[in-house]
Amino acid sequence: MRVLECRLAIDDLDSFVVDIGEIGDRHGVTIQAFDARYVADRRHLERAVELADRAIERGENVARDRAVEILLYAAGRRQIDRALEMGVDEGENRAVVLVDGRPDADGDEAGALEEVTALEAVVSTEPTLEASDEETLRSFFEITEAERGATDASLSALVRERVALLEVEK
């Protein structure tokens, strides 16, 4: 799995989604773009990929598309429309673009990442995961102050717990 931390300027979301889908197909990888405000850290995405692949392998996936299944797990939600809140939108976005080889194929993650980086929508590559938006994460993942006070676990660990709970709630 590779990630591109960047700033995106998306004029047409549908075209952007088609572009990254075509790049993924050419390189045998899955590509998913996230609004960086909703990503706790790299381990959050790694866990989502792991659980999405396990669901697909078992035939328990909700979505037909691997990128959407990864999005569902990353968001900790079964409803696609609610999980889409975590994706990028038209306009300026602090983003994280995940590029991951499919488990059943020899994908070219490096080549796909290079092509994604060259897209017109990529304004700059810059760290977007260093300063997480705690309030947004707590609100999106419904992590209360009481829960935070009851544990010494990091916010990232609590987000990963929500990702794992999606598996239990099926």
Q: Please, what are the averages of pLDDT over each run of 10 residues along the chain (170 residues)?
A: 96 96 95 96 96 94 94 93 94 96 82 94 93 89 90 91 76
Tokens encoding 88: 């990028």
- Number of structural domains (the chain) is 1
Triad 44, 144, 153: Cα angle to 5° = 50
pLDDT of 137 reads 94
Predicted local distance difference test score (pLDDT) of residue 71: 96
pLDDT at 102: 76
Measure the CA–CA gap between 14 and 88, rounded to whole angstroms. Answer: 11
CATH of the domain at 93: 3.30.2380.10
Q: What is the pLDDT of residue 168?
A: 60
**Residue 103: what are its φ and ψ, rounded to 5°?**
-60, -30
Cα dihedral across residues 85, 120, 66, 165: positive or negative: negative
The CA distance from 75 to 25, in Å, is 24
Q: Tell me which residue range forms the domain holding 78.
A: 2-169
Report pLDDT for 32. 97
Q: What is the pTM of this model?
A: 0.91
